[in-house]
Amino acid sequence: DKKVYMFDEGNSGMKEILGGKGANLAEMTNIGLPVPYGFTISSKACNDYYDSGKRIQEEVKAEILASLARLEAQTGKELGSTVNPLLVSVRSGSVFSMPGMMDTVLNLGMNDQTVEAVARLTNNPRFAYDSYRRFIQMFSNVVLEIDVFYFEQQLEKIREAKGYHSDPELSAEDWKEVISTYKQIVKKHTKEDFPQDPMQQLFLSINAVFDSWNNQRAIVYRQLNKIPSHYGTAVNIQSMVFGNMGEDSGTGVAFTRNPSTGESLLYGEYLINAQGEDVVAGIRTPNPIQTLQQDMPQVFEQFIEVCRRLEEHYQDMQDIEFTVEHGELFILQTRNGKRTAQAALRIAVEMVEEGVISKKEAILRVEPEQLNQLLHRRIDDKFEKIILAKGLPASPGAATGRVVFDPDEAEQLNNEGEKVILVRTETTPDDIHGIHAAQGVVTSRGGMTSHAAVVARGMGKSCICGCEALKIDMQLQQFQVGETIVKRLDTITIDGGTGEIIIGEIPMIDPELSKEFELLLSWADEERTLDVRANADNPKDAKKALEFGAEGIGLCRTEHMFMEADRVPIVQQMILAETEEQRKLALAKLLPMQESDYEGIFEAMQGLPVTIRLLDPPLHEFLPDKEHLAVEVAKLQITNPGSKELAEKEKLLKRVRQLDESNPMLGHRGVRLGISFPEIYQMQAEAIFNTAALLESKGITVIPEIMIPLVGHVNELKIMRQLVIDTAAAVQAKTGVQIDYTVGTMIEVPRAALTADEIATEADFFSFGTNDLTQTTFGYSRDDAEGKFLKDYVENKILTDNPFAVLDQAGVGELIKTGIKLGKQTKPALKTGICGEHGGETSSIEFCCLQGLDYVSCSPYRVPLARLAAAQAAI
């Protein structure tokens, strides 16, 4: 079976085999765009390479040689020829775009002889030697693994000795001198001469590109982006075109629309007399694409036309690499451009309006997770801000943090819970862990398509780049703007939408949602079958949830209401009560407080269902810490023996010790509390019904759904349900107001799921509490698991995901299926939903949709995401 394809043999549908870059190079070749000739070694060959102990198989070698011969015929050039040498690039490219994570070698085929031929043929020795030294540097870095630092240091030395300020000042003779010192560096590091045989250069480079699939940064990138590691990378061998041939040459990158805002305007940048990586590497700050119109009017016209065709062809915003050689345009890459959430929304909506894509397609175009970016807070303009400097607004969003210059430190501080802003002259793929850990990134060099900008936009971090006013001093760990010095760990605020760097912390406010946001979500609402509710414990969250489009509250946790400062003493009284009488006294004080809690929420949610879970956590959570209390008692015994305070504290300590549990997660909590202290649940139900009756009498519709937590046996629910019904009847009798309510339960222990047919006889609804259900199914206590071993489990692939973040479909999911099936067997109209953290996670939402649940419930800020994910699941 074939492992190597000429560009004219492939197409964009072959990404799995040819990688994204190769497949699109093939597609562009076929639609007649000016793509330099070349061929692609498939990612299957990469897998073979690894399977055969990192060796290229003989058949594949033969295919490569045959393809090379065809490339030589197409170009009329020959690898290693001293008359008309072929020079090629060796480019990585996997099925998922991993920009800059893997390796590429340019100008391959250069050696001491061919460089002379290139000099002669181009009549441009300066160019020839510059290209040769670039090749030595890149090949040495990628293949021989010699740090570029050594080469840069050497170049710097020579530049200084000659009094030059920039590379274009070096002559052919100067570059020759650089080359000979470069060769010495290679000799010193490898104990061998720089390889002169182009065929050897080629195969070593192919191996190196295969190897780069497993370099550290590629592995980290795949982990962050959940890209499986079995795909492997393809390798593209492509004949070189040169942007460094003089003032009529250049290289650049452009997006067919603005990847930051989504505006439909060509957006990009280029450098005259430069080669490939110079633009992305951020070594020089490039010119905006618009000035190309003056520099090279014809090329610009042609390029605009290419952009139009590519966007029309792919029906999506494209990210395009191009090079101009002596006024001739070549296209070197195209892909669907990475974009911010804001841009994703605007582009999707505008493409529908332009008639390019359907509404359904638009819904599928936006990554639900990305929506979170739009809900980021922004700087409150009411406050005065001291603007230190302004750079390029490369990725929107505001962020505050402490300045760090080192990506490792960024990661470390982030782990310690600090917010940081990473400041660098430029970033490289080795810095991604630091970018990931930071709230935002600032660079002093590089443009809007530089590495930092692309990566930050991909991650939804705010980013300012090319802020040249920033003089960064790595030695002193500080940067300076004019007279102002900002030191490591000083706090700054950055606004990636305006490019402003601001001293100190600035208050932030909630974002305004764009009209595209509302529109796309309204399209999503038409498609989805699943209802989306929110988890909210107070009127403020309830209002937020409504604003984001929630259709009810799926989980209102009442314990948070008990934890407010003014209530804790009363809650403690209730817990410390020695008799039922005493307990009822305390509960009577809590009753009006609970009523006011519910009133706010019911009012906010007028007419929408509100699921209220009765008290769930073990009582000792409301009492002071045992250790702490014991110390206080000991102190009082010395300082104030016989005091009333001491007596009270001793009593408290005794009760705390009584309530202490060795396994609180599985202890006296949930419905078990309701069984032991029915007066607590009774008070809660009374508060709910009193409030409902009050509001109903004012004409406000209230739909309370009372939920009993942690039920494992139908008898538990039976008793509690009766309690709720009796309480409702009493309130209705007292107030004369008819209240529509339901009583249901959370399914969060395996036994409940397995006996759901019995439990359904006492329940109007089931809400799968997948946080606890995951704990009880795996037998993991979440707090211990996440801190201690889960990370290892995921890293070592024992588990594919953290089951508390992504629903475990094989285990927990199976229990949910059983629960639904058995429950509906008893009660076909049984309402079902989920209310764990999973209710706001894309793949879990898809699962819920497939299982026919009625709703998911998630935190207010994830409601938009859930609406979109539910629509995608339904399409």
Q: Does 205 bind ligand ADP (CB under 6 A)?
A: no
**Residue whose beta carbon is closest to Mg ion:** 772
Which has the closest alpha carbon to 745: 833, 853, 828, 808? 833
Q: Which of 835, 848, 849, 858 is catalytic?
A: 835
Quote the CA–CA distance of 593 and 588 in Å, as a whole number.
9
Choose from Mg ion, ligand ADP, none: what does 609 bind? Cβ within 5-8 Å by kind.
none
What's the min distance (Å) between Cβ of 107 and ligand ADP?
Answer: 9
What's the min distance (Å) between Cβ of 467 and ligand ADP?
Answer: 23
Work out the angle at residue 491's Cα, subtended by the Cα atoms of residues 490 and 497, and round it to the nearest 5 degrees.
Answer: 135
DSSP 370: G
What's the min distance (Å) between Cβ of 106 and ligand ADP?
Answer: 5
Choose from ligand ADP, Mg ion, none: what does 772 bind? Cβ within 5-8 Å by kind.
Mg ion
DSSP string computed for 38-99 = EEEE-HHHHHHHHHTTS---HHHHHHHHHHHHHHHHHHT-EET-SSSEE-EEEEEEESS--T
Q: Is there a contact between 763 and 707 (Cβ–Cβ < 8 Å)?
A: no
Q: Does 89 bind ligand ADP (CB under 6 A)?
A: yes
Q: Which is nearer to ligand ADP, 37 or 855 (CB)?
A: 37
3-state secondary structure (DSSP) of residue 487? strand
What's the min distance (Å) between Cβ of 850 and ligand ADP?
Answer: 37
3-state secondary structure (DSSP) of residue 473? strand
Q: Which of 137, 273, 285, 333 binds ligand ADP (CB under 6 A)?
A: 333
Q: Does 321 bind ligand ADP (CB under 6 A)?
A: yes
Choose from ligand ADP, Mg ion, none: what does 443 bind? Cβ within 5-8 Å by kind.
none
Q: Which stretch binds ligand ADP (CB under 6 A): 238-246, 261-269, 391-399, 807-815?
A: 238-246
Q: Is there a contact between 388 and 486 (Cβ–Cβ < 8 Å)?
A: yes
DSSP string computed for 708-774 = E-S--SHHHHHHHHHHHHHHHHHHHHHH------EEEEEE-SHHHHHTHHHHGGG-SEEEE-HHHHH
What's the min distance (Å) between Cβ of 757 and Mg ion?
Answer: 22
**Residue whose beta carbon is closest to ligand ADP:** 276
Q: Does 116 bind ligand ADP (CB under 6 A)?
A: no
Residue 234 bridge partners (DSSP): 93
Q: Does 425 bind ligand ADP (CB under 6 A)?
A: no
Phi and psi torsions of 822, nearest 5°: -65, -40
Phi and psi torsions of 850, nearest 5°: -65, -35
Q: Which of 24, 104, 342, 755 binds ligand ADP (CB under 6 A)?
A: 104
Q: Which long-range contacts (CB under 8 A, 24 or more apart) does 650-659 make?
A: 651/576, 652/572, 652/576, 652/623, 652/624, 653/626, 653/629, 655/575, 655/576, 655/623, 656/620, 656/623, 656/624, 656/626, 656/629, 657/626, 659/575, 659/618, 659/619, 659/620, 659/623
| Residue 13 burial (10 A CB sphere; 0-12, 13-18, 19+) | exposed
Which has the closest alpha carbon to 754: 711, 803, 718, 709? 711
Q: Does 332 bind ligand ADP (CB under 6 A)?
A: yes
Q: Which of 9, 277, 418, 854 binds ligand ADP (CB under 6 A)?
A: 277
Q: Which of 451, 463, 465, 620 is catalytic?
A: 451
Q: Does 94 bind ligand ADP (CB under 6 A)?
A: no
Q: Which stretch binds ligand ADP (CB under 6 A): 1-9, 84-92, 183-191, 711-719?
A: 84-92
Q: Which of 19, 100, 268, 709 binds ligand ADP (CB under 6 A)?
A: 100
Choose from ligand ADP, Mg ion, none: what does 89 bind? Cβ within 5-8 Å by kind.
ligand ADP
What's the min distance (Å) between Cβ of 255 and ligand ADP?
Answer: 14
Q: Is 835 a catalytic residue?
A: yes
Q: Which is nearer to Mg ion, 245 or 253 (CB)?
A: 253
The CA distances from residue 547 to 524, 835, 860, in Å, are: 16, 19, 9
Work out the angle at residue 37's Cα, subtended by the Cα atoms of residues 35 and 39, and round it to the nearest 5 degrees.
Answer: 115
Q: Which of 14, 18, 26, 106 binds ligand ADP (CB under 6 A)?
A: 106
Q: Which string of x and - marks every residue 785-804 that binds ligand ADP (by CB under 6 A)?
A: --------------------
Tell me the two tokens of residue 859: 């935190």
3-state secondary structure (DSSP) of residue 465? strand
Choose from Mg ion, ligand ADP, none: what does 91 bind? Cβ within 5-8 Å by kind.
ligand ADP
Choose from Mg ion, ligand ADP, none: what does 332 bind? Cβ within 5-8 Å by kind.
ligand ADP
Choose from Mg ion, ligand ADP, none: what does 769 bind? Cβ within 5-8 Å by kind.
Mg ion
Which residues form the interface with Mg ion (CB under 5 A)?
A: 333, 748, 769, 772
What's the min distance (Å) between Cβ of 390 and ligand ADP?
Answer: 28
Binding interface with ligand ADP (CB under 6 A)? 36, 89, 91-92, 99-100, 104, 106, 238, 240-241, 276-277, 321, 323, 332-333
Residues taking part in catalysis: 451, 835
